Amino acid sequence: MSNAARQTDEIVIEVGQRHIREVNQDIMAACATGRPIRVVNTLSRHNLGVGLPDNVDITFEGSVGYYCGGLNTGANITIERNCGWAAGEGMAKGHITIGGYAGMSCGAAMIGGTIHVKGDAGPRVGVAMKGGNIVVEGKIGYQSGFMAHAGRIIALGGAGESCADALWQGEVWVAGGIDSLGVDVDVIEPTPEEVAEVDAILDPLGLVDSSRNWRKLVSGQRLWYFESRDASAWLMI
Amino acid sequence: MCGIAGRILAAPGRVGADLVDLMDAQEHRGADSTGFAIYGLPRETGYVLRGMGFDKSRQGADLDAFEAVLKEHGADFLSDPKILTDENRHYCFRMEISDPTDLQAWVRDADELTDRIEIQSCGRSLEIIKDIGGAEGVSEKHGVRDMIGTHGLGHARLATESSVLPNASHPFWARPFSDVAIVHNGQITDYFTWRDKLTRMGYRFLTENDSELIAVWVSDQMKAGLTMEQALKKSITSIDGVFTYMIATPGGIGFAKDRFAMKPLVVVNRNGDLAAATEEQAVRRVMTEECDVINYDGPSLTGIWGVGNRSLAA
């Protein structure tokens, strides 16, 4: 974004080679003002903007490293380009937009809120998630939704190998090809009511397309309880 | 957790300085030891050796014994060995030697001395510098920033499976093959099974570091005639564990990732001017202009990047 397009009351915070604790203290102080925040020169550094409060609008210019937006409790976070591992890990509430590629374990163990990835997502997106929604416009990576307990992962551009592996009670929705399914996954044709629920999530993001051929992946529930007769099913490779 | 890095320059230059930057940016991933494998301009004959002796008070006797073995194999020092000592008990050396009659036979005999003095790299162009300490500390001690070359590897070690010892640092040389080095981030879970098997085949392990296994395993595959590409692919189904490792030869750098996609690899490749690292923030230290990064995040990936504007990553 050019300087001219920036909001005039915006607070700009420089990262560079500064200590991350210092940067995060500046971010927290800026959150208290209620003004929009722009974090610049991020250099793919880790742990930026962790534990942000409600009613905050923050943009990270360029790419960020690991755990950006983790433990979010309501902030509206924009990452302009890529993020490293586990963006939005454990977040409870709020909205994270990732402009590019989301690295491994995006939205890991999140319990609420929405993560919107405009590019592809890496392996194990939504691993162990317990609520909320992850919308990926591109393809989701290897073992996406691994052991997700609740919540929805919605992939508009297909899925990689071992998709929805050992899913617990979450749902993985895929439009497009699936390279392979993980263990104990059932693929079901969603009802129009269920599609309407998903479209309601996509609508505010401007991503509704009625021509999509959805597949909904849920747990086969066979591995919910370990039985020795099922041991071979666990040996996925 | 460890940090690894690879760097290929578009033209020979200060590859040492770039590798120090790449490793300094990843020092938080493992600060107990740091190492570098640097490919300088290759010599036509003779080898450069890097290594260490474990007791500096016995340095004279070590070098005499080493020289005797060298002479038995028809070779000699081309210049006086350079010895580096500090407050640590071990000392480090750099030697230039003429070609032994049979390189592998000489390495086998020289390895009889490894309880005292150990060769850690042998190459027409490869030099492995490794020590305990962080990137800047090791670099300052060994002058890594000033090293000129075409490409190289870096490693920051967080010892999880074996002790912190200077010779258990990475990179590891794929002895006895000249000019081959590896760095590894991960854990090899069938280490003892493989180590047993390879020891019975006559291979020698100088440390208890599981990463050394990859170097020895790759040596064995090369001996059986596999190309680097074939060996990389085969390692994914042969070696159990979680890993991303890189292997360098005079021709370039290859990488392999385990089938669970547990360890990261981030690459910037601008027509053969290439930086690879565990973390994106490291490659951004040496690629300061805005550039596209490739995340090799998937499972069972391999690739080879050539030196000299050749790009064969798969």
Under an 8 A CB cutoff, do A44 and B280 touch?
A: yes
Domain spans in chain B, listed from the N-terminal domain onward: 3-33+158-306
Q: In the predicted model, is pLDDT for residue A215 greater than 60?
A: yes
Q: Does domain B3-33+158-306 have CATH number 3.60.20.10?
A: yes
Which chain B residue lies closest to A140 (C-alpha atoms)? B298
Under an 8 A CB cutoff, do B297 and A122 touch?
A: yes
C-alpha radius of gyration, chain A, whole number: 18
Which chain A residue lies closest to B261 (C-alpha atoms)? A123
Which chain A residue lies closest to B28 (C-alpha atoms)? A46
A104 Cβ neighbours under 8 A, 6+ residues apart: A84, A85, A86, A122, A123, A124, A141, B261, B264, B297
Share of chain A above pLDDT 70, in %: 95
Distance CA B100, CA B312 (A): 34
Under an 8 A CB cutoff, do B284 and A85 touch?
A: no
Please list every residue in chain A whose beta carbon sits closer than 8 Å to the beta carbon of residue B299.
123, 142, 161-162
Distance CA A60, CA A48 (A): 9
Amino acid at A11: I
Min Cα separation A191/chain B (Å):
32
Q: In the predicted model, is pLDDT for residue B109 greater than 80?
A: yes
Q: Average per-residue pLDDT in chain B?
A: 93
Min Cα separation B282/chain A (Å):
9
Min Cα separation B284/chain A (Å):
6
Tell me the average pLDDT across A152-156.
98
Distance CA B149, CA B6 (A): 13
Please, which pLDDT band fits residue A4 given cuts at 50, 70 and 90?
very low
Tell me the average pLDDT across B214-236.
92
Distance CA B192, CA B205 (A): 11
Distance CA A159, CA A154 (A): 10
Q: Could you list the beta-strand ranges (E) of B159-240.
A: 172-173, 181-188
Share of chain B above pLDDT 70, in %: 98
Which residue in B281, B284, B297 is closest to A104 by CB distance?
B297
Under an 8 A CB cutoff, do B279 and A84 touch?
A: yes
Which residue in B264, B280, B297 is closest to A141 by CB distance?
B297
pLDDT reported for residue B311: 36
CA torsion sign for B209, B214, B220, B222 is negative
Please, which pLDDT band fits residue B93 given cuts at 50, 70 and 90?
very high
Which chain B residue lies closest to A42 (C-alpha atoms)? B281
pLDDT reported for residue A1: 47
Q: Average per-residue pLDDT in chain A?
A: 93
Please list every residue in chain A whose beta carbon sits closer than 8 Å to the beta carbon of residue B293.
44, 63, 82
Give the highest mean pLDDT range of B71-85, B155-169, B203-217. B71-85
Tokens of B23: 């490793």
Catalytic residues of B: 2
Strand order in the sheet with B273-277: B126-132, B33-39, B149-157, B3-13, B273-277, B266-270, B294-295
How long is chain A?
237
pLDDT reported for residue A220: 92
Q: In the predicted model, is pLDDT for residue A107 greater than 70?
A: yes
Distance CA A37, CA B105 (A): 65
Min Cα separation B74/chain A (Å):
51
pLDDT reported for residue A6: 58
Tell me the average pLDDT across A101-107.
97
Tell me the average pLDDT across B179-187.
95
Q: What is the pLDDT of residues A26-55, one digit of tens each?
A: 999 999 999 999 999 999 999 999 999 999
B200 three-state secondary structure? helix
DSSP percent split of chain B into helix, strand, coil, nearest 5: 30, 30, 35
Under an 8 A CB cutoff, do B259 and A65 touch?
A: no
Q: What is the pLDDT of residues A169-194, one digit of tens each?
A: 999 999 999 999 998 899 999 999 99
Q: In the predicted model, is pLDDT for residue A125 greater than 60?
A: yes
| Interface residues from chain A to B (CB-CB < 8 Å) | 43-46, 62-63, 65-66, 82, 84-85, 101, 103-104, 122-124, 141-143, 160-162, 237
Substitution target from A1, A43, A44, A61 for chain B, most B beta carbons within 10 A? A44
Q: In the predicted model, is pLDDT for residue B309 greater than 60?
A: no
Report the number of secondary-structure helices (H) and strands (E) in chain A.
3, 11
Share of chain A above pLDDT 90, in %: 88
Please list every residue in chain B whose beta carbon sits closer than 8 Å to the beta carbon of residue A141.
261, 297-298
What is the Cα B99 distance to its own chain's centre? 21
B87 three-state secondary structure? coil
pLDDT, greater one: B275 or B311: B275
Q: What is the pLDDT of residues B264-287, one digit of tens each?
A: 999 999 988 999 999 999 999 999
Please, which pLDDT band fits residue A234 given cuts at 50, 70 and 90?
low
- ipTM of this predicted structure: 0.85
Please, which pLDDT band fits residue A99 given cuts at 50, 70 and 90?
very high
pLDDT reported for residue B1: 75
Give alpha helix (H) positions in A71-228: 192-202
Please list every residue in chain B whose beta carbon sits closer than 8 Å to the beta carbon of residue A66.
279
Substitution target from A19, A41, A43, A83 for chain B, most B beta carbons within 10 A? A43
Tell me the average pLDDT across B170-191.
94
Q: What is the pLDDT of residues B37-74, one digit of tens each?
A: 999 999 999 999 999 999 999 999 999 999 999 999 99
Distance CA A202, CA A194 (A): 13
Q: In the predicted model, is pLDDT for residue B310 greater than 50?
A: no
pLDDT reported for residue A229: 76
Which chain A residue lies closest to B301 (C-alpha atoms)? A142
DSSP run (H or E) holding B247: strand B241-249
Q: In the predicted model, is pLDDT for residue B168 greater than 80?
A: yes
Please list every residue in chain A whose beta carbon sits closer than 8 Å to the beta carbon of residue B257.
none
Distance CA B11, CA A31 (A): 47
C-alpha radius of gyration, chain B, whole number: 18
Give the residue among B26, B36, B31 at the shortest CA–CA distance from B3.
B26
Please, which pLDDT band fits residue A199 given cuts at 50, 70 and 90?
very high
Distance CA A45, CA A85 (A): 11
Q: In the predicted model, is pLDDT for residue A3 greater than 70?
A: no
Please, which pLDDT band fits residue A2 given cuts at 50, 70 and 90?
very low
Please, which pLDDT band fits residue B129 given cuts at 50, 70 and 90?
very high
Architecture, CATH, for domain A3-234: 3 Solenoid (2.160)
Under an 8 A CB cutoff, do A84 and B280 touch?
A: yes
Give the residue among A169, A71, A161 at the shortest CA–CA distance from A111.
A71
Domain spans in chain A, listed from the N-terminal domain onward: 3-234
